[in-house]
Structure 1
Amino acid sequence: MGSQDQKVAVVTGASKGIGAGLVDAYRKLGYAVVATSRSIAPGNDSGILAVRGDISDPATAERVIAAGVERFGRIDTLINNAGLFVAKPFTDYTADDYAAVTAVNLAGFFHITQLAIAHMLTQAGGHVVNLTTSLVDNANSKVPSVLASLTKGGLQSATKSLAIEYAKRGIRVNAVSPGTISTPMHAGDDRQALAALHPMGRMGEVSDIVDAVIYLERAPFVTGEILHVDGGVSAGH
């Protein structure tokens, strides 16, 4: 059981890459963390509660929030980091692709965010951060990705809608819109080609996204923001 004064962050997709970086960063801020993913395993840090499950399953969302409240007594921040990215020509997408991507990117976001905000309302405060993609605002013919635009674009719109809905009730909602980030997801890809997609000529690092999220965490007058961390992609080519 954590102290009732210790803030608590929930991180989805927390087992590797950006999610793992966010878990570490919030622990360094002094937060307790509820970390969830399909493959996450318990560790030795009593300030991290690992909850294994598929975020697209509403039962997982229920277990994550309930376990966090039971263990730590509160939920202050939710970071919707879990996501699927499938880049294909539009007509090559299958029914399974559509079902998988929408289940994680949309249903996964919806169920856990609804539960987290309901709890934040009892505390009269909280913060939600959604991870999207720069392709939402800056489509690229070299990276055909309609399912990413459909789902993550929905998250960007929902970010602004939720920010306004809850602005006077102490809950902030923001998003970080990354470019291509160097994570295990891109281990087998042509990294030089991926770097060339960005005006700055490099891929982003996990630390770039973590720093952006922590900035938003520490910015009490910022809500409804879509913070682009994309090496200049959002500015143009």
Structure 2
Amino acid sequence: MSTFEQRVAVVTGASQGIGAALVEAYCKLGHNVVATSRGIAPSADAGVLTVPDDISDPATAERLIAATVERFGRIDTLVNNAVLFVAKPFTDYTRADYAAVTGVNLTGFFHLTQLAVGQMLSQGHGHIVNITTSLVDNADARVPSVLASLTKGGLQSATKSLAIEYATRNIRVNAVSPGTIRTPMHAPETHGYLAGLHPVRRLGEISDIVGAVLYLENAPFVTGEILHVDGGMSAGH
């Protein structure tokens, strides 16, 4: 199989945690992978192109899509995994907080997805997976997070809108909505408290989210789905 015949996945926020695991998972599926984040290191794998860049910069989208098409010739899947999460009382958010969170969670998503969809339309197929948060559907006074709800809630609504807009053009758009996952984002001393936020009383694992993304990858009749992987948070408390 030549390089340009091999499927290609683009993963943002790919230097650690869920993003790094998704890169590994797509490689195991036989995909070429383009992985991006601010501090991502070069890869020795010929099937992995790493692009260190700031997703909140609109120019990053152009550089990333151009590099992907030049190297691999196509984009089959885009996983919008990059996230900036700042939890604090609403009146404590600063202008810098707002700019930073909306830059990564919304601006980066918008410009990169727009260009990826353009490439997918030229190919005649594609799949987009957005990583959101169950706090969008289930606000929790113990975790004040208006900026997460504002931005990831926007992605959740955009998921459905894009799924319907492109349903007849062979582009699927889905989302995975996690609870709190055991990643480097959360210090070990917080794990007990965070586990208690879930009805199952434990944290999710990175493998739970990877499994959900791969399910969507291999579910051709599923589009517009918000797949909750949250230990029951979306069901209630």
Partner SS, residue 86 of structure 2: coil
Return the alpha-carbon distance in structure 2 between the equivalents of residues 147 and 103 of structure 1: 11
Q: Which residue of 2 aligns with 1:210?
A: 210
Q: Which residue of 1 aligns with 2:43?
A: 43
Shift of 1:32: 0.2
Partner SS, residue 154 of structure 1: helix
Shift of 1:228: 0.1
TM-score by length of 1: 0.98
CA-to-aligned-CA distance 1:122-176 (integer Å, 9 cap, x gap): 0110000000000000000000000000000000000000000000000000000
Q: How does 1:63-212 map to 2 (within 5 A)?
A: 63-187=63-187, 189-212=189-212
CA-to-aligned-CA distance 1:25-48 (integer Å, 9 cap, x gap): 000000000000000011111000
1:224 maps to 2:224 = yes
Percent sequence identity over matched residues?
76
TM-score by length of 2: 0.98
Deviates more, 1:184-193 or 1:209-218: 184-193
Shift of 1:101: 0.3
Shift of 1:188: 5.2
Deviates more, 1:56-65 or 1:152-161: 56-65
Return the alpha-carbon distance in structure 2 between the equivalents of residues 181 and 189 of structure 1: 14
Return the alpha-carbon distance in structure 1 between the equivalents of residues 201 and 211 of structure 2: 20
Shift of 1:59: 1.4
Shift of 1:189: 4.7
Equivalent AA in structure 2 for residue 56 of structure 1: S
Equivalent AA in structure 2 for residue 186 of structure 1: H
Q: Which residue of 1 aligns with 2:24?
A: 24
Equivalent AA in structure 2 for residue 111 of structure 1: H
Runs of 4+ aligned structure 1 residues displaced above 4 Å come to none
CA-to-aligned-CA distance 1:76-115 (integer Å, 9 cap, x gap): 0000000100000000000100010001000000000000
Structure 2: gaps (5+ residues): none
Return the alpha-carbon distance in structure 2 between the equivalents of residues 190 and 67 of structure 1: 39
CA RMSD of aligned residues (A): 1.1
Shift of 1:16: 0.2
Return the alpha-carbon distance in structure 2 between the equivalents of residues 188 and 94 of structure 1: 27
The count of residues paired between Structure 1 and Structure 2 equals 237
Return the alpha-carbon distance in structure 2 between the equivalents of residues 94 and 173 of structure 1: 32
Shift of 1:58: 1.3
Partner SS, residue 130 of structure 1: strand
Partner SS, residue 51 of structure 2: strand
